[in-house]
Amino acid sequence: MPTLLLAEGAGWRIEIIGKLPDLPPFIAATPQTAIVVEGVATLEVFDRATGILRPVTSGAAIEPLFFEAVAYDIHFERLDLSAKLSLPVGAEVRRVRADSEHHTLNFGNNVGFADVVASTATSRARLQIEVFSRKADFRTDYVAMRDEVSGMLRNLAMAANARTYGLAAPAKEHNPTLVEWLALIESHFGDFFKLANAIARNPHSRLVKKSTLVATERARRVTQQTLGRALRRDNGGAVIPSLGVALPRKISESVSSITFDTSENRYYKALIKETYRNIRTLSRTDASGDEDANHSAEAKFFESIRPRLKAMERQVEVILRAPFLGQVADADLARPDSMVLHKHPLYSRFDKLCRLLNGGLSFAGDIVPIGMKETSLLYEYWCFLKIVSLLRARFDLAEQSVVSYKRLRMTVALKKGKQSAMRFVHKPTGADMFLVYNRLFTKLPTIAQQPDNVIQFASADRFYIFDAKYRIQFDSDYVKQYGGPGPTTDDVNTMHRYRDAIAIPHPMKTGAWKAGSVIGAVALFPYTDEAAYRSQKFFNSIKQVEIGGLPFLPGATTLVAEKISAILDCVFPEVTTTSTEPSD
């Protein structure tokens, strides 16, 4: 395997060795990426044309070198014994010696940016590399999938992931997930602590006047109004001969004092405490709760951020111990309508920063690093959402509702099964039809089945399956046998299994099962050349036996749209108007 990257700095040397995988014919290996470095003396990368290393500068355009699902060997040599290496989460140690280290790293189904950091006692260097997809064009199809999924729900594509990251920008919304909040607080914690600490040292205050009854002879701060009121009334006091008036034994004295219990400080205290709670929650978390996530990768992600969170926690505790906060009452996070938050140089900046932290992120910018869902899961989401849009061209949504999702504390995910069902109405007949994401067929005679996308027709015993498979086969033997790139043979066999295994209880015979409920099953896979695919064997097999595969990407939706139209044209003249709810 070739050396893909060689970098040297003050006291260290990094070498990354790995395979350059074969790419589908629609993905061009042209210069479209760059390696951005800081604190690196020399940088060399592999040149596909010559087969040797060539020197490059930071930010220079090069061909993609790093891809998902490829194992890389990373060798680190110490010329300075204080040198340390920091790799993305998921790297595994193979060997550690006093003067060298050997690690392996596989990005799995993660794409985007990744950082390699080398540091010594006196310097720090960073290499930012970009990890590309092997099955979809990263610059066009992947970005379009991510943006379309995010268009349905702003943070649906974001995840707890530290192998790679994307770049996002603050969004003018509220209620971010904790994963978004973490990305924002890590980017801005220095400013947050600096402003919060400055306010704690010089908090805003106001004067309050308080009236208390004191002995008249001891009163020092009596207003003319108070004195006049006391003299006009029968106060029962002794008459002063020289004045000829009677003064009360006690009189109301007005005392002014400084208080820190202002609406601005209550808001400030609530923001600090909420930040502290979020940090503690994240530092005690091991998983996001998303059942589709890579649980091992998530556990490593939360483990990797824990030291940084603990350091933040200690700094926020210093602010919470500020003496003036003991005089400030607890309050909720409602922002007061106060000119102090607009005009005060510290409070206004702190308020603006906290609104940014609690506003969430969107992929409309490239400022804040944020983890993204694995590409295979993103492809599943996109396929479901795109089929929804294709069906809406022919049907009315029964309820004008969006796709169902579940908001977890850490992240957001699509609901599955019956909870995800989108109910459509066929205008001419009034018949119902459902599209269900990840419907689970249980209590089958053999093994439970869970395809990605199930179109369920009104009779409740007729289904068509579109299963999103983020896989494509294009080796020479496959192309020769099947007439071009297409779904893997394993995925086509899975479609056969769905049709054979999914059955429903027989309506008339107790204990018997009615087979043939699945009209057909198609594997959706990433490919762009729809015209060439029309001659592929697994395209024609759909016409013959309703089993096969169809290409499906943002720039290639025609064949799936045609197939859905053909299914609907065939099925709906025969359906009844009886509505049956989907069941898990």
Q: What is the mean pLDDT of residues 178-200?
A: 95
Q: Could you tell me which residue, 362 or 8, shows the higher pLDDT?
A: 8
pLDDT band (50, 70, 90) for residue 311? very high
* pLDDT at residue 454 is higher than 70: no
Of 148, 145, 192, 113, the C-alpha closest to 368 is: 113
pLDDT tens digits along 457-502: 545 567 888 999 999 999 999 999 999 999 999 999 988 888 877 7
pLDDT tens digits along 123-132: 999 999 999 9
Of 260, 263, 261, 258, the C-alpha closest to 341 is: 263
* pLDDT at residue 262 is higher than 50: yes
Q: Residue 421 carries which DSSP code? A: P
pLDDT band (50, 70, 90) for residue 432? confident
* pLDDT at residue 525 is higher than 70: yes
pLDDT tens digits along 344-360: 999 999 999 999 998 88
CA distance 466 to 383: 9
* pLDDT at residue 51 is higher than 80: yes
Q: Report residue 114 as tokens.
A: 């990744």
pLDDT at 360: 86
pLDDT at 475: 93
pLDDT at 576: 39
* pLDDT at residue 402 is higher than 60: no
pLDDT at 441: 59
pLDDT band (50, 70, 90) for residue 423? confident
Q: Report residue 452 as tokens.
A: 């990605």
pLDDT at 56: 96
* pLDDT at residue 2 is higher than 70: yes
Q: Could you tell me which residue, 365 or 511, shows the higher pLDDT?
A: 365
pLDDT at 405: 72
Task: Please check whether residue 249 is in contact with residue 236, taking contact to mean a CB–CB distance below 8 angstroms.
Answer: yes
CA distance 579 to 459: 8
pLDDT band (50, 70, 90) for residue 584? very low
Q: What is the mean pLDDT of residues 503-512?
A: 47
Of 218, 245, 225, the C-alpha closest to 234 is: 245
Q: What is the mean pLDDT of residues 367-386?
A: 91
pLDDT at 244: 56
Percentage, residues of the chain above pLDDT 90: 54
Show the 3-state SS of 35-86. CEEECCCEEEEECCCCCCEEECCCCCCECCCEECCCEEEEEEEECCCCCEEE
Q: How far is CA 538 from CA 277, 488, 550, in A?
A: 54, 10, 8
pLDDT band (50, 70, 90) for residue 507? very low
* pLDDT at residue 161 is higher than 50: yes
Task: Please check whether residue 344 is in contact with residue 203, taking contact to mean a CB–CB distance below 8 angstroms.
Answer: no
Task: Please check whether residue 473 is in contact with residue 485, taking contact to mean a CB–CB distance below 8 angstroms.
Answer: yes
pLDDT tens digits along 200-238: 999 999 887 776 666 766 666 666 666 666 666 665 565
pLDDT at 581: 47
pLDDT at 186: 94
pLDDT at 509: 41
pLDDT at 251: 67
pTM given for the model: 0.84
Residue-averaged pLDDT of the chain? 85
Angle at which helix 263-283 crosses helix 178-201, to 10 degrees, equals 140
